[in-house]
A and B are shown apart, each in its own frame.
Chain A
């Protein structure tokens, strides 16, 4: 099987997973009070550049493998809106992971601070403020976005449900992806976006 076939098969499998997650109507409510308590603190946007670290929930979104391609396909958005980061699977075999950050702000955040693709939202956004990570032994662990104003209201049923999704995905995600996900919040100094079409 050549490289293109490998990628095509992987892409199809990931697309199926995304469709399954989107189609699931039994997701428990997160009980998050985003509209009441928050001004999109977890959606990377230009206005965050002037905010203090305590005011920011999360300054970036790391997409799953092929999630960028999936979002491009279902929304028609340009690939240029994403930062694309390589994760090597093997010599000559590299995944391109999509990210949104302060240099590539979320193109789906509307002026009313609502998400323009809420029913097809990326898993990292859907899961926030639950943040998975791998410990040194490679076991899945959890932390929480402490600057999320809704954190005290987070529903245990929703948390368990999301942990279940991540647990299913864990064996499918290369360690390089986890390293990227883990490091993402350590970054600073993103270049300024050339244009800002998102809410500020």
Chain B
């Protein structure tokens, strides 16, 4: 895949105040996908389908996130990034700053097989943390704690191949400094009340138990204490828009309050 739309990417990023590094290891480059660039959005969708073929039904979520402030995501400021290497799109990143909290949510990070193992993932995580720090300031916080990420549990894998893949994914997050939150976390199928995916389209999906981890910023790493309730409420109530009385929310925190 050739970068035919690089000019549009440049045009798009000029208007943004970005503390992030646009150039990464081995000549990789980062491109912001937003509503002003239909070609970049198409490329983001294509690379998403290649990297996450099993999640292609969530493409409308990517498109919504590319708008930055979609009405169905009232509590988050969303980002979609593309990564290019050697003239090809090789990676995609989708994440959000939770406007009501001092942290974010990392929804997707992935690369094509040939681009893995080059340190691009670590670099992209660092740029995510920089962006979240910048967002935190925008929304009235001094800085960001980091971001939450849901990670498949290797113990749930149905095949050895899947288990190894899940282990590798978990290992990647650990190497990025993940602090595992030992709460029983179940990932909802979708954000409540969105207008771009119907329940019918997701009828075959089931909520899944996942690991919940915080990828901390340098500041988040230095904190002696973290507020687990704030973190859990931020993800479940502000991102997924569940009520505090929802079974998932209560289950995640029940052991803390017994």
CA distance A183 to B174 in the complex (A): 13
- The answer to whether A136 and B175 have CB atoms under 8 Å apart is yes
Interface centre among A87, A136, A190 (most CB of B within 10 A): A136
- The answer to whether B155 and A183 have CB atoms under 8 Å apart is no
The answer to whether the Cβ of A140 comes within 8 Å of any Cβ in the partner chain is: no
- The answer to whether B174 and A186 have CB atoms under 8 Å apart is no
Contact residue among A84, A85, A179, A188 (Cβ-Cβ distance under 8 Å from B226): A188
| Interface size grouping (class) on chain B | 20 to 34
Interface size of A by Cβ–Cβ distance < 8 Å? Answer: 23
- The answer to whether B225 and A186 have CB atoms under 8 Å apart is yes
CA distance A36 to B153 in the complex (A): 47
Measured CB to CB, the nearest residue on chain B to A190 is B256
CA distance A88 to B226 in the complex (A): 23
Mark out the residues of chain A between 164 and 199 whose CB falls within 8 Å of any chain B CB in the assembled complex: 176, 179-180, 182-183, 185-191
CA distance A190 to B256 in the complex (A): 7
CB distance from B231 to the nearest CB of A (A): 10
Given the known interface contacts A186-B226, A188-B226, the answer about A89 and B155 at a Cβ–Cβ threshold of 8 Å is: yes
- Comparing B53-61, B176-184, B199-207, the segment that makes contact with chain A is B176-184
- The answer to whether B228 and A187 have CB atoms under 8 Å apart is yes
Given the known interface contacts A188-B226, A189-B227, A189-B229, the answer about A88 and B153 at a Cβ–Cβ threshold of 8 Å is: yes
The binding surface of chain B is classed by DSSP as mixed
CA distance A183 to B214 in the complex (A): 11
- The answer to whether A83 and B258 have CB atoms under 8 Å apart is yes
- The count of A-to-B residue pairs whose CB atoms sit within 8 angstroms is 53
Query: Which residues of B are found within 8 Å of A182, using beta-carbon distances?
Result: 179-180
Query: Which residues of B are found within 8 Å of A188, using beta-carbon distances?
Result: 225-227
Measured CB to CB, the nearest residue on chain A to B156 is A91
- The answer to whether B255 and A83 have CB atoms under 8 Å apart is yes
Interface 1/0 per residue, B214-251 and A, CB below 8 Å: 00000000011111110000000000000000000000
- The answer to whether A53 and B226 have CB atoms under 8 Å apart is no
The answer to whether the Cβ of A90 comes within 8 Å of any Cβ in the partner chain is: yes
- The answer to whether B180 and A187 have CB atoms under 8 Å apart is no
CB distance from A185 to the nearest CB of B (A): 8
- The answer to whether A86 and B255 have CB atoms under 8 Å apart is yes
- The answer to whether B171 and A136 have CB atoms under 8 Å apart is yes
Q: Which 10 A-B pairs have the closest CB atoms?
A: A188-B225, A179-B180, A136-B174, A180-B182, A186-B226, A136-B175, A85-B255, A90-B155, A179-B182, A183-B182
Q: What would 17 A/B residue contacts be, using CB atoms closer than 8 Å?
A: A84-B255, A87-B182, A90-B155, A91-B209, A136-B175, A176-B182, A182-B179, A182-B180, A183-B181, A187-B225, A187-B256, A188-B227, A189-B227, A189-B229, A189-B256, A190-B256, A191-B256
